[in-house]
Amino acid sequence: MGFSLIEQETSDIDWFFVDANNEIGFVASGGGKLPNSIADKDYRYDLGSYFRGLSDTSNYELNNDLVIVDQTEKLKQYSDFISLAKKGLYCFDKTDLNNFDDTRYDLIVKPDKGLKVEDIPNDILKILSITKLKLNLNKIRELDVSLID
């Protein structure tokens, strides 16, 4: 049993994926469209607890193109994303919240040193590797769900 279109559109679902460079991305769906690899399956795993429990291993860089001008407000609003970037994850969020058909997510924050799949246990990797991006996260500022398997 996967996620219905109504669930996708009305929920903020955390999901994770692996890129072509074996680095890991995190997305807060914000009511946005999920990739088929997650929407069509029973993807109700709590990978977030695993990743949030890791030690900090990286510095981070906030996306300066975000519309929030005040740096203090930006740090407050994106504290969860920053925390995950410190663990090595590239973090994306839905910024066009009223348009479900818009499959784009914007980069919020990226790590200086990305977490690699070889650094995580096999049971987590088995779940994580369901969802793959054929691009390198370190080269993009926008993620399009239609490009994810």
Q: Take residue 145 and report the two structure tokens written for it.
A: 């769900």
- Which pLDDT score is estimated for 119? 95
- Which pLDDT score is estimated for 69? 59
Give me the long-range contacts of 50-55 (CB less than 8 A, separation at least 24): 50/120, 50/124, 51/16, 51/24, 51/26, 51/84, 51/87, 51/89, 52/83, 52/84, 52/87, 54/87, 54/88, 54/115, 55/87
Higher pLDDT, 19 or 76: 19
Q: What is the mean pLDDT of residues 4-21?
A: 91
The mean-pLDDT minimum among 43-47, 123-127, 140-144 falls in: 43-47
Q: Is the pLDDT of residue 114 over 90?
A: yes
State the Cα–Cα distance between residues 107 and 68, nearest whole angstrom.
Answer: 14
- Which pLDDT score is estimated for 42? 65
Q: What are phi and psi of 118, to 5 degrees?
A: -70, -10
The model's pLDDT over 28-86, given as tens digits with 9 standing for 90+, comes to 998 988 998 888 776 556 789 999 999 999 999 988 887 665 667 767 888 999 999 99
Q: How confident is the model at residue 89 (pLDDT cuts 50, 70, 90)?
A: very high
Whole-structure pTM value: 0.91
Q: How confident is the model at residue 102 (pLDDT cuts 50, 70, 90)?
A: confident
